[in-house]
Structure 1
Amino acid sequence: MRASRLLSLLLILQTRGRMTARELADELEVSVRTIYRDVDSLHAAGVPLYGDAGHAGGYQLLDGYRTKLTGLTTEEAEALFLTGLPGAAAELGLGSVVGAARLKLTAALPRALRDRAGRIEDCFHLDAPGWYSDGEHTPYLTAAASAAWDRRRVRVRYRRWQAPQEVTRTLDPYGLVLKGGRWYLVAAREASIRTYRVSQIGALEVLDEPFERPDGFDLARYWGGYLADFDRRRHTGKAEILLAPSAVRALPDLLDAAVVRAVDHTGTATGTGWLHAVVPIESEARAVSDFLRLGADVEVLGPASLRELMRETVTSLADAYRVREKSGAPAAGRESSSRCSNPSLCS
């Protein structure tokens, strides 16, 4: 355990540079006194590690010192071969770089670890897009990624949902997120951090203007908060429904995860075998579209306005099919509802 911690301490200093004893202790989840003892042990082993006292002090390796890739456990070596994400790397223009890095890592491993890690790699494949999507066309993904890494401001022409639908924005690109096979750019505009769908970028110019990402900004933490806020904003109401057993089984494949969770939490059995539940909805028009996926296996009980809208929609469908049967010509359909399904398109 201690040998593993010493190696971790050495690699942290190698990758991050100068760090204080307190910072190292927090990173390794040990006491400051333990860090002092570990530093003494590394000194005794001949590692060129020195420390400076004072407010701006800390421990640092001698310039140019690099340790070899040693000390990997079997599980760590296996895990490294699951983090390459070759598909995502290729989309970012880093396919050859990741491939070269994996070759170097493979060459550095002992034969036993190399063979086992290779078998793990052969048994894992990431296919990010959903079943009913081939992915999105993102011609400016590589440029956006390069700008984020180089901390360069960008000017984009962006297609959004609301009017005006095409806008020009100057952005500070903080990072990229791959969600369900779709790429999103997290960027700052006028001191406000927003999310943009990369496939909606119609043009992108990298400007010769550097920017500084705020200290403490964490992309994963931001994205988690963004998703939570997205759910809060899009669910504007609730619906009371009855579900047939077959509809309950089909919910995960047909409706939003929030609806599935609500059915799990609020569902109560009725004397007919159907389930009574209260579920969140984005809007009544959207709810009608969603519930129609369940066909006759769902009944909307309330609110009354939503039940009436469902009745009108189903009646119109029935009328359309009756007209087609009599004349052979399609009936004039109702206007389809529209919505902004992703707030990134409204930015």
Structure 2
Amino acid sequence: MKSSRLISILLLLQTRGRMTAAQLADELEVSVRTVYRDVESLHAAGVPLYGDAGHSGGYRLLAGHRFSRLTDLYTGEAEALFLAGIPGAAAELGLGAHFVDAQLKLRASLPTPLRDHVDRLRARFHIDAPGWYAEDTDAPFLAQVAEAVRAGRVLAARYRRWKEPTDVDRRLEPYGLVLKAGRWYLVAGPGPRTYRVDQILELDVTDEEFDIPEDFSLTDYWSAHQLAFRTRLHGGDAVVLITPEGAKRLTGDAARAFAATRVPEPDGRIRATLPIESLAHAHHTFLGLGAEVEVLEPVELRDLLTETVSRLATRYGVTPGSPPTPPSRRP
């Protein structure tokens, strides 16, 4: 909506200072021509908005002008603010009390109808980020790491990694923290590299300061890190025949690959090509699906499953066409 876009322009100029029409167009995902028309509308409404010509020019608000108060929020914007915060994460960072105070102040600043609406919303939505089967991880140094991130202080850490030697000493320049599926990760230089905060064994926040590279973006780094992680996990593909019931149990990349490659077969099963991390990991995964899946390729994975099934049949005294042997009973 145009009205919402006009407000966005003013808020961008209020928070960032001078911006060119091209920069505003990029932020708002509209054309430069649209920005020009919007600026003309703001001028007509008497908004103290000025444009400077030249290479370093751009639009800016009159010095000292403030546009938005909390009472200017739309309903959807107020909903987003209250739902975006995760109390558990704030508490883990040592900001639990500040989180509560901030929400109380925000709520008190809203007009009564919008405040009542937000109260009803909070009663109906609860954010619990970790998955059901996620392990509880104890990260005793998280608050200290967060403080070092805020203060720009170098960390001297004793860190446990997966390969030998497992316990190593590291000098870390904390660029930022990321919460992923209930687990905290520290992105730190030099590098930068990613560290699990719950694997920090000892920690000292030093007085040494550092500068984050100007071209570093935590969001961009994490997106690239996740892509690289998924690429490493994808060690190949498996061609399978899977029942509709088995397909319901697929998750993540496997579910997406199934949807993209599925071909129904006459016997009711579905042929699909699924990504696999490794033969060992795929062996474990497909065994969990039992008779709901048959692996056709690669042959090495099919042979592994065949060998395991044969060993299980022998252990349980089963031969093709015969009922299983009842378990032996000790006297």
Q: TM-score range by the shorter chain?
A: 0.7 to 0.9
Do the aligned residues in 1 keep the contact of 2:79 with 2:118 (CA within 8 Å)? yes
Q: CA deviation at 1:18?
A: 4.8
Written as runs of structure 1 = structure 2, the 5 A alignment for 1:18-167 is: 18-20=18-20, 22-28=22-28, 29=30, 30-31=32-33, 33-34=36-37, 37=40, 40=43, 44=46, 59=60, 62=63, 68-133=69-134, 135-167=136-168
- Are 1:186 and 2:187 an aligned pair? yes
Aligned to 1:239: 238
> Contact between 2:6 and 2:38, CA under 8 Å: does it hold in 1?
no
Report matched runs for 1:176-255 at 5 Å.
176-189=177-190, 192-252=191-251
Change in Cα spacing, 1:321 to 1:206, as seen in structure 2 (3 Å) is farther
Distance 2:41 2:209 in 1: 40
Aligned length, in residue pairs: 319
Higher deviation after alignment, 123-132 or 14-23: 14-23
1:290 CA displacement: 0.7
Aligned-pair distance for 1:174? 2.1
In structure 1, give the amino acid aligned to 2:86. L
CA change 1:20–1:246 in 2 (3 A) is closer
Shift in Å, 1:293: 0.6
Query: 2: distance between equivalents of 1:41 and 1:169?
Result: 59
Segment of structure 1 superposing worse, 17-26 or 208-217? 17-26
Cα gap change, 1:25 to 1:291, in 2 (>3 Å): closer
Quote the sequence identity (%).
49
Q: Which residue of 2 is the match for residue 263 of structure 1?
A: 258
* RMSD of aligned residue pairs (Cα, Å): 3.2
Q: Distance in 2 between matches of 1:176 and 1:129?
A: 16
Q: Corresponding residue for 1:11?
A: 11
Offset of residue 284 of structure 1: 0.9
Q: Tell me how far 1:115 sits from its aligned partner.
A: 0.7
- Return the letter of the residue paired with 2:228: D
How far did 1:122 drift?
1.3
In the other structure, the counterpart of 1:312 is 307
Distance 2:258 2:23 in 1: 45
For residues 6 and 234 of structure 1, what CA distance do their matches in structure 2 show?
A: 45
- Look up the SS of the partner of 1:288 in the other structure: helix
Structure 1 stretches lacking a partner, 5+ long: 329-347
Q: 1:130-163, CA deviations, whole angstroms, 9 ceiling, x for partnerless residues?
A: 1123532121222222222222222222222222
Name the CA shift for 1:228/1:25 in 2 (closer, same or farther; >3 Å): closer
Asked if the contact 1:129–1:135 (Cα under 8 Å) also holds between the matched residues in 2, the reply is: no
Q: Deviations over 1:196-216 (max 9, x none)?
A: 222222222222222222334
Distance verdict in 2 for CA 1:247–1:12, change over 3 Å: same
Segments of 5+ residues of structure 2 without an aligned counterpart are: 318-324
TM-score by length of 2: 0.82
Question: Residues 221 and 99 of structure 1: is their aligned pair in 2 closer, same or farther, counting only changes over 3 Å?
Answer: same
Q: 1:127 Cα shift?
A: 0.8
2:10·2:67 contact (CA, 8 Å) conserved in 1? Answer: no
SS at match of 1:291: helix
Structure number with the bigger relative contact order (C-alpha 8 A, sep ≥ 6) is: 1
Change (3 A) 1:50 1:206: farther
The aligned amino acid for 1:188 is G
Q: Would the alpha carbon gap of residues 264 and 37 (structure 1) be closer, same or farther in structure 2, given more than 3 Å must change?
A: closer
* SS of aligned partner of 2:15: helix
Tell me if the contact between 1:239 and 1:279 (Cα under 8 Å) persists in the aligned partners. yes
